[in-house]
Each structure stands twice: as C-alpha cells, then as structure tokens.
C-alpha cells in the first residue's frame, strides 16, 4: 500500500501495514491484529512518543541485560513483523539467542519466523522443544528450548501475554517487557516494563546497550546493579497512568 508521507497518521499506518504484511507472510496470526489494535489505542493516549518513564525503563533494561549471565529474547509473530532487524541486532550486541514462542502454536509458523529473523541478520534463533516445558504454565506456550528460555536468568519478552509473564517470574526469571498498556497483567507482573511502542523502544534499547558497553569497562566496579536498583517499576507504571489521565493530543493542529 502507498502511504503518502504527508498523511497525518503516516507512522501509525506504516506500523499497521507491517502487521498486515506479517499476516500475508505467514509469520503473524490474525489475532495479532487485535493485540495490535489494543496497543494503538494506548499509544494514542500516551502521545505516540517515548516518554521519560519509558526512557528510565530502557536504561534499567540495558543494565539488567548486560549484567545477565544468560539473557534470551523471546519473539512472537507481532514483534517479528514489526522489528525483525532490530531484534536481530539486539541479539547480536548481547550475544544471546532469540527464541520463538507463539500463542497460536504451529511448527510451520515458528519456522517461518525463524527464517525471517535469519534473513534480517539474526545468527542464533532457537525454537521451543516438545519435551521441555516451563513450570506454572498450561497453555501451548509452556514449551521452551533447554538451551534458551529454560536456562535463562533474564528474558526480554515484548508484547507478552500475562499468563506467560507470570509463569516466567515464578520460574525465577527476571522479565523485561515492552507493553503500551500499563494496566495489562504483563506490565504489572514484569520486573521492568517499558511502556512504549516496540518500534521506538527496541532501537533505543540497542543504543543504550552500546553506550553502556563503551562507557563501562569490564574491569570497572559493576555499575549495572546500581542502575537497576535505582529503578522502580511501580513508579514507572504510575507515571504512565498519570500521563494517560492528563491526556495528550498527537494530532497536528
């Protein structure tokens, strides 16, 4: 679809088109459209920009990921459609695997997502295995890779469902999510919630990780604990709700 740059909702329509393309490519499920619509509504209310509470969460996430022993990035059909290159780059700068995990399970779709990530520069993409399951989760999404999420200490799970977030936390993992809805169970359960659109948040997260890597020498006293300890997810979520209540108009005058 041709989108004129002058259209006042150009960026929102561009992102919507990525999801529609994801469905045509067979990597996003139809239900992903509904999840995206919910995200759009919250993005509108948040002013369609990265707010300060999201920037704080991105800094804490960068520190937590750099401090992790075994970080893993969990990818579903919506995030693969929206930020395939960026997720590949994130995995490469952290030198950690991407692991596919989709709500409406299908091996065929898992393989399509894997191939799509590989064609976008990813080097290490894992699939869940049928004989490996996470505890405290009954849905199809309980399957994990024994060298990936099962072993991970920190999991980056953007656009996640509440049940799985809760289960990951109960399995002893620290969970970082990106979720435009500060009221979702995922947002409330995660260790760090970046309340921002994934298309804006992931590039900023990559930038922050690269900056911290340069800034802090390996031999330095570990600065990352301090950054994560100073971050409070409840306060960040409260600030996001406040922003929504205060209202904002992303539309041009």
Binding site for ligand ATP (CB under 6 A): 35-36, 38-39, 42, 82, 159, 161-162, 178-181, 184-186, 197-198
Cα–Cα distance between 123 and 88 in angstroms, integer? 7
User: Does the footprint of Mg ion cover residue 196 (CB under 5 A)?
Assistant: no
Q: Which is nearer to ligand ATP, 45 or 149 (CB)?
A: 45
Helix H segments across 149-197?
A: 162-170, 185-189
Q: Which is nearer to ligand ATP, 44 or 216 (CB)?
A: 44
Cβ–Cβ < 8 Å for 212, 63: yes
Residue 59 interacting entry, from Mg ion, ligand ATP, none, C-beta within 5 to 8 Å by type? none
Residue 141 interacting entry, from Mg ion, ligand ATP, none, C-beta within 5 to 8 Å by type? none
Residue 128 interacting entry, from ligand ATP, Mg ion, none, C-beta within 5 to 8 Å by type? none
Cβ–Cβ < 8 Å for 195, 182: yes
Cβ–Cβ < 8 Å for 191, 155: no
**164: which residues sit within 8 A by CB, 6+ positions away?**
101, 137, 139, 141, 157
Residue 178 interacting entry, from Mg ion, ligand ATP, none, C-beta within 5 to 8 Å by type? ligand ATP
Q: Which is nearer to Mg ion, 96 or 237 (CB)?
A: 237
- Distance in Å, CB of 79 to ligand ATP, minimum: 8
Q: Which is nearer to Mg ion, 94 or 180 (CB)?
A: 180
* Token pair in block for residue 196: 């921002």
User: Does the footprint of Mg ion cover residue 161 (CB under 5 A)?
Assistant: yes
Kindly give the pairing relationship between strand 192-194 and strand 98-100: unpaired
Cα–Cα distance between 13 and 167 in angstroms, integer? 34
Residue 38 interacting entry, from ligand ATP, Mg ion, none, C-beta within 5 to 8 Å by type? ligand ATP
Kindly give the pairing relationship between strand 174-178 and strand 154-156: parallel
143 burial level (CB within 10 Å; 0-12, 13-18, 19+): buried
| Span interacting with Mg ion, options 95-103, 112-120, 162-170, 199-207, rule CB under 5 A | 162-170
Residue nearest ligand ATP, Cβ-based: 39
Residue 214: CB atoms within 10 Å: 8
Residue 36 interacting entry, from ligand ATP, Mg ion, none, C-beta within 5 to 8 Å by type? ligand ATP
Q: Which is nearer to Mg ion, 89 or 160 (CB)?
A: 160
Q: Which is nearer to Mg ion, 62 or 175 (CB)?
A: 175
User: Does the footprint of Mg ion cover residue 179 (CB under 5 A)?
Assistant: no
Q: Which is nearer to ligand ATP, 145 or 181 (CB)?
A: 181
CA 188 to chain centre: 15
Residue 196 DSSP class = S
List residues near Mg ion by CB under 5 A.
161-162
């Amino acid at each position: 679809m041709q989108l004129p740059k002058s259209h006042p909702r150009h960026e929102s329509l561009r992102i919507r088109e990525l999801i529609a393309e994801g469905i045509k490519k067979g990597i996003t499920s139809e239900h992903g459209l509904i999840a995206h619509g919910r995200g759009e509504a919250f993005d509108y209310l948040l002013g369609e920009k990265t707010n300060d509470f999201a920037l704080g969460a991105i800094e804490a996430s960068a520190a937590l990921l750099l401090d992790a022993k075994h970080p893993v990035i969990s990818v579903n059909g919506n995030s693969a459609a929206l930020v395939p290159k960026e997720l590949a780059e994130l995995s490469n700068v952290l030198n950690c695997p991407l692991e596919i995990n989709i709500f409406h399970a299908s091996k065929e779709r898992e393989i399509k997502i894997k191939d799509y990530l590989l064609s976008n520069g990813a080097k290490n993409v894992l699939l869940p295995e049928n004989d490996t399951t996470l505890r405290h989760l009954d849905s199809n999404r309980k399957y994990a890779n024994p060298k990936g999420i099962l072993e991970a200490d920190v999991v980056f799970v953007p656009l996640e469902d509440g049940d799985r977030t809760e289960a990951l936390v109960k399995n002893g993992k620290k969970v970082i999510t990106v979720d435009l809805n500060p009221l979702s169970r995922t947002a409330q359960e995660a260790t760090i919630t970046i309340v921002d659109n994934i298309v804006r948040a992931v590039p900023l997260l990559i930038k922050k990780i690269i900056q911290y890597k340069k800034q802090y020498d390996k031999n330095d006293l570990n600065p990352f604990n301090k950054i994560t300890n100073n971050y409070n997810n409840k306060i960040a979520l409260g600030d996001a709700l406040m922003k929504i209540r205060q209202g904002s108009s992303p539309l041009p005058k």
